[in-house]
Amino acid sequence: MSKFKKKTATKQDIPTAALPDIIFMLLFFFMVTTVLRETEIMVEQKIPRATQLKKLEKKSLVSHLYIGKPKKVDQFGTEPRIQANDAFVTPDDLILWVQQEKDKLSEADRDKIWVSLKVDHEAKMGIVSDVQEKLRESNARKVLYNVIQTAD
């Protein structure tokens, strides 16, 4: 008989003890990078598509306005409304809102404020132009029309 008897004691399975650690690492990564929305959007938001997008570099300078038909139609009606932070506002309130948003920024950045308009595709230009008029009045003239990249 052969002198070299094969050792059969070697284990065949891959150790999976470290698998949970790997998954936890991924989990923590996603937990840390997730930004929870602080405002609940109360208007419908089907954003139109376009091709010529540019990215805003400084996110701290952006304030968001949402325009669209309210989701709770029985409570707020079907007319498109403007949502700033957590509440519906009228165009006249926007001057005060811009001031508040500007106050949140540092002194040097006050005039660099960007207003991002997230407007539902069904909204009419009437309400959008009212908003633009007020933004011009309150000297927040840099506007970002939030759109989605056309998939092509």
Partner 1 sequence: MARRKDRGAPEVNAGSMADIAFLLLIFFLVTTTIASDKGIMWTLPPKTDQPPPEVKENQRNIFKIQINSSDKLLVEDEPLDDVRKIKDMVKKHVLNYGKDPKMSESPQKAIVSVKANRGTSYEMYIAVLDELEAAYNEMYAERAGITVDEWKRLDQSNPRMKALYDKARDGFPKQISIAEPSKI
Among 7, 51, 76, 104, binds partner 1 (CB under 8 A): 51
d(CA 71, CA 100): 26
Q: What angle, 0 to 180 degrees and rounded to 10, lies between the N-to-C axes of helices 94-104 and 125-137?
A: 60
Residue 89 or 143 having the CB closest to partner 1: 143
Cβ–Cβ under 8 Å, residues 67 and 83? yes
Sites for partner 1 among residues 96-135 (CB under 8 A): 116, 119-126, 128-129, 132-133, 135
d(CA 146, CA 84): 15
Cβ–Cβ under 8 Å, residues 65 and 115? yes
If we measure between CA atoms, which residue out of 112, 122, 124, 120 comes closest to residue 145? 120
Among 54, 78, 92, 108, binds partner 1 (CB under 8 A): 54
Among 41, 89, 105, 147, binds partner 1 (CB under 8 A): 147
Which spans of this chain sit near partner 1 (rule: CB under 8 A)?
A: 16-17, 19-20, 23-24, 26-27, 30-31, 33-35, 37, 48, 50-56, 59, 62, 116, 119-126, 128-129, 132-133, 135-137, 139, 141-149
